[in-house]
A and B are shown apart, each in its own frame.
Chain A
Amino acid sequence: MTPLLAVEDIHTAYGLSRVLFGVSLEIAAGECVCLLGRNGVGKTTTMRSIMGLTPPSRGRVLWQGRDIAGWAPHRVARTGIGFVPEDRRIFAELTVWENLDVAGRAAGRRSRWTVEAVFELFPVLRALRDRRGGFLSGGEQQMLTIARTLMGNPDLLLLDEPSEGLAPLVVETLRVKIGELKTQGLTILLAEQGVDFSLALADRVYVLEKGAIRFSGAAAELRADKALLHRLLSF
Chain B
Amino acid sequence: MNRVALGRSIPWTLVVFLIAVWVPALGSRYDTFLGTQIAIDALFVVSLNLLLGTTGLVSFGHAAYFGIGAYACGILMKTYGVPFVIAFPAAALIAAFFALIFGFFCVRLSALYFAMLTLAFAQIVWAICFKWNAVTGGDEGLPNIPYPKLDWISSLPGLGDLSIADEFYLLTILMVALSFAILRQVIRSPFGRMLTTIRDNPERAAFIGLNVRAYELAAFVVAGGFAGLAGALYGIFNRGAFADYVFWSKSAEVLIMTILGGINYFWGPPVGAFALVWLNQEITSYTQYWPFVLGVVLLVLLFGFPGGIVGGLVAGYERLRRMLRPRHA
CA–CA, A232 and B122, complex, Å: 59
Stretch at the interface among A27-35, A101-109, A171-179, A190-198: A101-109
Q: How far is the CB of B190 from chain A (nearest CB, A)?
A: 6
CA–CA, A98 and B204, complex, Å: 15
B179-218 CB mask vs A (1 if < 8 Å, else 0) is 0000000000010011011011101111111111000000
Query: Which residues of chain B are near A98, meaning CB under 8 Å?
Result: 193
- In the assembled complex, A233 has its CB within 8 A of some CB on chain B: no
**How many A residues face the partner with a CB closer than 8 A?**
28
CA–CA, A78 and B214, complex, Å: 15
A53-B203, A102-B190 known; A94 and B197 CB under 8 Å?
A: yes
Residue in B193, B206, B207, B212 with the greatest tally of chain A CB atoms within 10 Å: B207
By the criterion CB–CB under 8 Å, are B190 and A91 in contact? no
CA–CA, A110 and B23, complex, Å: 53
Query: Which residues of chain A are near B207, meaning CB under 8 Å?
Result: 51, 53, 73-74, 76-77, 83, 85
Query: Which residues of chain A are near B206, meaning CB under 8 Å?
Result: 53, 72-74, 77
By the criterion CB–CB under 8 Å, are B201 and A89 in contact? yes
Please give me the residue from chain B that is nearest to A98 by CB atom.
B193
**How many B residues face the partner with a CB closer than 8 A?**
18
By the criterion CB–CB under 8 Å, are A108 and B193 in contact? no
- In the assembled complex, A117 has its CB within 8 A of some CB on chain B: no
CA–CA, A76 and B200, complex, Å: 21
By the criterion CB–CB under 8 Å, are A108 and B209 in contact? yes
CA–CA, A89 and B209, complex, Å: 16
Q: How far is the CB of B268 from chain A (nearest CB, A)?
A: 15
Query: Which residues of chain B are near A148, meaning CB under 8 Å?
Result: 208
Interface SS of B by simple majority: helix
Q: How far is the CB of A101 from chain B (nearest CB, A)?
A: 7
By the criterion CB–CB under 8 Å, are B212 and A74 in contact? yes
Query: Which residues of chain A are near B212, meaning CB under 8 Å?
Result: 74
A89-B201, A91-B201, A92-B200 known; A101 and B208 CB under 8 Å?
A: no
CA–CA, A53 and B196, complex, Å: 20
A94-B193, A98-B193 known; A106 and B200 CB under 8 Å?
A: no
Q: How far is the CB of B125 from chain A (nearest CB, A)?
A: 30
Enumerate A142-184 residues with CB–CB distance to B below 8 Å.
Answer: 148-149, 151-152
By the criterion CB–CB under 8 Å, are A106 and B208 in contact? yes
A78-93 CB mask vs B (1 if < 8 Å, else 0) is 1000010100010111
CA–CA, A92 and B190, complex, Å: 16
Partner of A101, one of B193, B203, B210: B193
Please give me the residue from chain A that is nearest to B206 by CB atom.
A73
Please give me the residue from chain B that is nearest to A51 by CB atom.
B207
A91-B200, A92-B200 known; A74 and B210 CB under 8 Å?
A: yes
CA–CA, A167 and B194, complex, Å: 32
CA–CA, A93 and B263, complex, Å: 14
By the criterion CB–CB under 8 Å, are B190 and A105 in contact? yes
By the criterion CB–CB under 8 Å, are B193 and A152 in contact? no
Partner of B194, one of A73, A83, A102, A109: A102
Q: How far is the CB of A118 from chain B (nearest CB, A)?
A: 14
Query: Which residues of chain A are near B197, meaning CB under 8 Å?
Result: 91, 94, 102, 106
Query: Which residues of chain A are near B208, meaning CB under 8 Å?
Result: 77, 102-103, 106-107, 148-149, 151-152
CA–CA, A22 and B187, complex, Å: 45
Query: Which residues of chain B are near A152, meaning CB under 8 Å?
Result: 208-209
CA–CA, A170 and B201, complex, Å: 26
By the criterion CB–CB under 8 Å, are B194 and A106 in contact? yes
Partner of A102, one of B193, B201, B203, B211: B193
Query: Which residues of chain B are near A102, meaning CB under 8 Å?
Result: 190, 193-194, 197, 208, 210
Residue in A72, A76, A102 with the greatest tally of chain B CB atoms within 10 Å: A102
By the criterion CB–CB under 8 Å, are A94 and B196 in contact? yes
By the criterion CB–CB under 8 Å, are B203 and A73 in contact? yes
Q: How far is the CB of A79 from chain B (nearest CB, A)?
A: 9
Q: How far is the CB of A69 from chain B (nearest CB, A)?
A: 16
Given contacts A78-B209, A91-B201, A106-B205, 16 further A-B contacts (CB under 8 A): A53-B203, A72-B206, A73-B206, A73-B207, A74-B209, A76-B207, A77-B206, A91-B200, A94-B193, A94-B197, A101-B190, A102-B190, A102-B197, A103-B209, A106-B197, A151-B208
B contact set with A: CB distance below 8 Å: 190, 193-194, 196-197, 199-201, 203-212
**17 A-B pairs whose Cβ atoms sit less than 8 Å apart in the complex:** A73-B203, A74-B210, A77-B206, A77-B209, A85-B207, A89-B201, A89-B204, A91-B196, A98-B193, A101-B190, A101-B193, A105-B190, A106-B210, A107-B208, A109-B209, A149-B208, A151-B208
A contact set with B: CB distance below 8 Å: 51, 53, 72-74, 76-78, 83, 85, 89, 91-94, 98, 101-103, 105-109, 148-149, 151-152
A-B complex: 10 closest residue pairs judged by Cβ atoms: A77-B209, A106-B210, A73-B206, A107-B209, A106-B209, A73-B207, A103-B208, A83-B207, A91-B200, A74-B206
